[in-house]
């Protein structure tokens, strides 16, 4: 995989299971916060699945669309777009009342120094969205950051693990879940909290960051020595299919790949591809931010794209000089300071 066109074609290719799922989905789909890293490919994937199923549901993407060509790209793919500031209640209330909502809006990087805005986006806005879409079903993108750092020998946090978010970003994400859960009970809104970490796209993500560091002979911090990753196309597939699993009180679902991945091992795999010696700093600790997604795999099956495939694609992307987004994951962060 060497071009953005190849990448987007692969990420937006619907599975047989997704096509079947959208064929049974009643009503239109609105994606709030479609302008983020995952939103465009999710919208295109949903539209492609609806077309393949012979459906006529609308897919509507909402974002500020303040710059760039994203809006025209989405519209060319058959997605209706609406430019709106979701924190402006008048603009929020004017949005079409679709029967299905995927909530992707939020704030992570830049939280430090802008804590009030982070809480407004991550905890206040969900209440306003729930009020506006009280007759819909809502899948809310969340994060594995709501869990504590887990001992490596526990296999990652499950949905039953007590939450213990580290830092204001993670705390505000738990706030998002709590506010949505309140309104789910108040209005009987079916919901699902989609706790994701870490999605992989050739242009950003944990694998890209490790691979670039190896190639450029930059030190690789082993302080957070283990991670979970999942192909972005697989994560989006699961998010759309999760609309059928929404319930009251909200269902919680961990979404990531099946492996507990050693960062050291990852670096060594890329080092073989680039014929260099990796440079490491710090030592692996006995805990890491890890999630157990066994329930999601029971419901949806294992991800279609394997870890080895993602590694190969990432190496090919770097070697081909593929586009890179300036959106670091900061997966090494142990104090929750984003």
Q: What is the DSSP string of 272-321?
A: HHHT---EEES---SEE--B--HHHHHHH-S-SS-HHHHHHHHHHHHHTT
Strand partners, 253: 194
Strand partners, 287: 151
Would you say residue 333 lies in a domain?
no
pLDDT per position as a tens digit, 166-185: 999 999 999 999 999 999 99
The pLDDT assigned to 161 comes to: 97
Would you say residue 119 lies in a domain?
yes
The pLDDT assigned to 68 comes to: 79
The pLDDT assigned to 111 comes to: 64
Would you say residue 317 lies in a domain?
no
d(CA 335, CA 338): 9
The pLDDT assigned to 334 comes to: 79
Would you say residue 338 lies in a domain?
no
Q: Is the Cβ–Cβ distance between 278 and 222 less than 8 Å?
A: no
The pLDDT assigned to 196 comes to: 97
Would you say residue 335 lies in a domain?
no
What tokens does 92 get? 């929020």
Would you say residue 240 lies in a domain?
yes
Please indicate, yes or no, whether the overall pTM of this predicted structure exceeds 0.75: yes
Instruction: Give, for all 338 residues of the chain, the pLDDT tens digit.
Output: 789 999 999 999 999 999 999 999 999 999 999 999 899 999 999 999 999 999 999 999 999 998 779 999 999 999 999 999 999 999 999 999 999 999 999 987 666 778 999 999 999 999 999 999 999 999 999 999 999 999 999 999 999 999 999 999 999 999 999 999 999 999 999 999 999 999 999 999 999 999 999 999 999 999 999 999 999 999 999 999 999 999 999 999 999 999 999 999 999 999 999 999 999 999 999 999 999 999 999 999 999 999 999 999 999 999 999 999 877 888 888 787 76
Would you say residue 247 lies in a domain?
yes
> Which domain does 104 fall in, by range?
4-201+229-257+290-303
Torsion region of 167: left, alpha or beta (phi above 0 gives left; psi -120 to 50 gives alpha): left
Q: What percent of the chain has pLDDT over 70?
A: 99
Which residue from 337, 239, 290 is spatially nearest to 38, judged by alpha carbons? 239
Would you say residue 210 lies in a domain?
no
CATH number, domain at 235? 3.40.50.720
What tokens does 248 get? 């009251």
- How many domains, in total, are found in the chain? 1
């Amino acid at each position: 995989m060497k071009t953005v066109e190849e990448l987007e074609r692969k990420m937006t290719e619907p599975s047989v299971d997704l096509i079947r799922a959208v064929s049974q989905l009643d009503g239109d789909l609105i994606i709030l916060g479609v302008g983020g890293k995952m939103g465009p490919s999710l919208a295109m994937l949903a539209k492609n699945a609806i077309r393949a199923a012979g459906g006529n549901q609308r897919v509507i993407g909402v974002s500020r669309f303040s710059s760039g060509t994203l809006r025209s790209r989405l519209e060319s793919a058959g997605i209706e777009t609406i430019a709106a500031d979701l924190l402006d209640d008048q603009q929020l209330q004017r949005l079409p009342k679709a029967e299905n909502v995927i909530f992707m809006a939020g704030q992570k990087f830049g939280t430090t120094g802008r804590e009030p805005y982070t809480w407004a986006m991550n905890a206040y806005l969900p209440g306003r969205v729930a009020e506006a879409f009280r007759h819909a079903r809502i899948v809310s993108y969340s994060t594995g950051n709501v869990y504590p750092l887990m001992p490596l020998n526990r296999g990652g946090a499950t949905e039953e693990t007590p939450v213990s978010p580290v830092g204001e970003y993670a705390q505000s994400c738990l706030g998002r879940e709590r506010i949505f859960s309140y309104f789910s009970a108040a209005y009987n809104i079916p919901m699902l909290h989609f706790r994701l970490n870490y999605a992989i796209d050739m242009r950003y993500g944990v694998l890209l960051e490790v691979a670039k560091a190896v190639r450029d002979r930059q030190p690789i911090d082993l302080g957070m020595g283990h991670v979970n990753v999942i192909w972005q196309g697989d994560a989006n597939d699961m998010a759309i299919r999760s609309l059928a699993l929404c319930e009251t009180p909200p269902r919680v679902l961990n979404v990531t790949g099946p492996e507990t991945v050693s960062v050291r091992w990852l670096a060594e795999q890329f080092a073989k591809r680039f014929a260099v010696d990796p440079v490491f700093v710090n030592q692996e600790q006995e805990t890491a931010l890890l999630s157990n997604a066994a329930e999601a795999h029971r419901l949806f099956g294992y991800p279609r794209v394997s870890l080895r495939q993602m590694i190969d694609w990432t190496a090919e992307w770097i070697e081909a000089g593929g586009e890179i987004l300036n959106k670091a994951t900061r997966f090494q962060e142990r104090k929750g300071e984003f």
